[in-house]
């Protein structure tokens, strides 16, 4: 019905359809400001994953869903609980040795972080090597090929040095590789160049369901010399049992039940991430990463739209699931977890609209007043629905353009937020944003006082209207088959 709705809208002129006004009229700048001034306050200490501030934020989000009268959609009320571990790796007795044709490299234990929930001992286990920056060299990813083997991955850092046009596809391929490994379950993954291992004694957060991973940047040399000639490599390993303590991480989810007997079994997912970077460990002055725009703005938009809808008396045909994720800043942990443990069937999830950074308009490229963008702008039939919603609510929905580049700038960002976890499983999933870049990005100065709330309210009305249209439409959004960039995401 999207097409029919658009036609109808065009016939009615530049006004949102009257049946949706009771919801759109309940979205207010003042309410958004009130919500965000708490969520991004210093009291929540930057909402690091995991932290007490993050837990308080989760309780706040749940309390707002409860207040709106939405149905709890988690395993424990509004919470989807993930049981993770904080590990303190033990380095005495740690051994990591790589062998190939008489060449042997033993890594310094102080430069290795073993993210293993228990002890592990391997003698000359066969290694399969993937150069993350060269997906063409991978061959077919088959679970049989990696079962019972060690998988070594390097080249991750090189991805970020690629020219812009190649970077997006390379990040996507790397995400797909990680997603494949999470399901194929090799013995262990050796990450041979990512980041700097924490100094001895620092804790690591791991998902005990995930593939055991060893961070070993010093092994990079060894693999760089090999390039794709990985035959004959073996790994010998001795990892002592770590000290581990359980931590609970929670996505927060609420359901707005559809009214149509059939279509209500399908879902539109409206999401944002409620975590941010936590606090600087020391130093003078402000140490709190408030994350007001990133992504407090997305979370309060989800809350504002959810409560507006719940109080409007409107019934949609499809159901709408509202969700706030943890751990985006650590590598999309909460959305990745959700994609492995969906609360409603992914096959029945017709669209995901993920909201990121909709509060700030002071983009250094150009001011973004009454303007919003969707990442992967021409990847699906979803974006035109929102462009029309924008026309009726005073928001121009545009491809994100950096004047310095000829590339559509929204494309590399498609793989940089929580929509990716859903897109990787075939769901038509985009991120909507006002300014993909803003001056205080990932700085302690990303404060709630700097947000343009009246603009944000208009943007949220656009998001709400597009979401309602999709929820009432018989036709589900589809990937754009004529754009090869969507091939990895088609079901
Ligand atoms: Zn973010």
Report CA(264)–ligand 1 centroid distance (Å). 30
How far apart are the CA of 417 and the centre of ligand 1, in A?
Answer: 7
Bond preceding residue 324 cis, omega within 30 of 0: no
**What is the 79 CA–ligand 1 centroid distance (Å)?**
21
pLDDT surpassing 60 at residue 210: yes
Query: What integer is the mean pLDDT of 97-101?
Result: 92
Q: Where do the domains of the chain lie?
A: 2-84+249-489, 90-241
In the reported structure, the alpha carbon of residue 322 is separated from the centroid of ligand 1 by a whole-number distance in angstroms of 17
- CB neighbours of residue 66 within 10 Å: 13
Asked if residue 479 lies in contact with residue 486, where contact means CB atoms within 8 angstroms, the answer is yes
User: Is a pLDDT exceeding 80 seen at residue 9?
Assistant: no
Q: For residue 374, report the distance from its CA to the centre of ligand 1, in Å.
A: 14
**pLDDT tops 80 at residue 368:** yes
pLDDT at 193: 80
Q: What is the CATH number of domain 90-241?
A: 3.50.30
| CA of residue 97 to ligand 1 center, whole Å | 38
| Opening angle at CA 322, ends 319 and 324, nearest 5 | 160
How many angstroms does the Cα of residue 193 sit away from the middle of ligand 1? 24
Residue 236: pLDDT over 60: yes
Give residue 418 CA to ligand 1 midpoint distance, Å: 8
Interval between CA 276 and ligand 1 midpoint (Å): 7
> Looking at the predicted structure, is the pLDDT value of residue 10 above 60?
no
290 vs 135, which has greater pLDDT? Answer: 290
Q: Cα of 55 to ligand 1 centre, how many Å?
A: 18
30-35 mean pLDDT: 98
According to CATH, the superfamily of the domain at 2-84+249-489 is Zn peptidases (3.40.630.10)
Average pLDDT over residues 402-406: 70
Give pTM, 2 decimals.
0.90
Q: Which two structure tokens, joined as six digits, stand for 93?
A: 């007795």
- Determine which of 75-79, 129-133, 139-143, 223-227 has the lowest per-residue pLDDT on average: 223-227
Q: Residue 102: its pLDDT value, please?
A: 82
- How remote is the CA of residue 412 from the centroid of ligand 1, in Å? 14
**Helices and strands (H and E) in the chain: how many:** 14, 18
Q: Place 132 in a pLDDT band, splitting at 50, 70 and 90.
A: confident
Mean pLDDT of 55-64: 98
Average per-residue pLDDT in the chain? 92
At 377-400, the pLDDT tens digits run 999 999 999 999 999 999 999 998
């Amino acid at each position: 019905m999207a097409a029919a709705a658009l036609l109808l809208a065009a016939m009615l002129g530049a006004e949102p359809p009257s049946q949706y006004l009771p919801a759109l009229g309940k979205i207010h700048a003042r309410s958004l400001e009130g919500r965000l001034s708490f969520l991004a306050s210093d009291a929540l200490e930057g909402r690091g994953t995991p932290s007490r501030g993050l837990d308080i934020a989760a309780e706040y989000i749940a309390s707002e869903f409860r207040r709106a009268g939405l149905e709890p959609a988690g395993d424990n009320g509004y919470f989807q609980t993930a049981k993770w571990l904080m590990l303190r790796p033990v380095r005495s007795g740690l051994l990591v040795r790589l062998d190939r044709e008489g060449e042997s490299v033993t890594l310094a234990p102080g430069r290795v972080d073993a993210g293993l929930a228990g002890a592990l001992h391997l003698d000359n286990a066969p290694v399969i090597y993937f150069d993350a920056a060269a997906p063409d060299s991978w061959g077919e990813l088959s679970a049989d090929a990696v079962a019972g083997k060690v998988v070594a991955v390097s080249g991750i850092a090189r991805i970020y040095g690629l020219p812009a046009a190649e970077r997006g596809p390379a990040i996507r391929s790397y995400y797909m590789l990680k997603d494949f490994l999470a399901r194929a379950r090799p013995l262990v993954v050796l990450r041979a160049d990512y980041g700097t291992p924490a100094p001895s004694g620092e804790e690591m957060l791991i998902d005990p369901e995930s593939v055991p991973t060893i961070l070993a940047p010093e092994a990079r040399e060894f693999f760089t010399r090999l390039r794709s000639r990985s035959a004959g490599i073996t790994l010998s390993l001795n990892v002592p049992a770590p000290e581990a303590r359980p931590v609970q991480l929670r996505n927060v989810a609420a359901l707005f039940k559809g009214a149509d007997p059939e279509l209500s079994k399908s879902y539109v997912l409206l999401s944002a991430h409620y975590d941010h970077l936590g606090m600087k460990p020391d130093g003078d002055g402000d140490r709190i990463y408030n994350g007001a725009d990133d992504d407090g703005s997305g979370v309060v938009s989800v809350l504002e739209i959810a409560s507006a809808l719940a109080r409007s008396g409107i019934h949609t045909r499809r159901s709408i699931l509202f969700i706030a994720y943890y751990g985006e800043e650590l590598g999309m942990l909460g959305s990745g977890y959700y994609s492995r443990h969906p609360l409603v069937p992914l096959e029945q999830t017709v669209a995901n609209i993920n909201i990121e950074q909709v509060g700030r308009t002071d983009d250094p490229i150009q001011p973004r007043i009454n303007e919003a963008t969707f990442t992967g702008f021409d990847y699906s039939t979803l974006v035109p629905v929102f462009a029309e919603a924008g026309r009726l609510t005073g928001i121009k929905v545009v491809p994100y353009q950096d004047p310095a580049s000829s590339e559509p700038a929204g494309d590399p960002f498609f793989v940089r937020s929580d929509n990716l976890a859903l897109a990787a499983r075939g769901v038509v999933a985009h991120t909507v944003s006002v300014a993909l870049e803003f001056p205080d990005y990932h700085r302690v100065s990303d404060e709630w006082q700097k947000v343009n709330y009246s603009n944000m309210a208009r943007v949220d009305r656009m998001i709400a209207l597009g979401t309602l249209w999709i929820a009432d439409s018989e036709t589900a959004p589809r990937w754009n088959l004529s754009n090869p960039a969507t091939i990895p995401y088609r079901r």
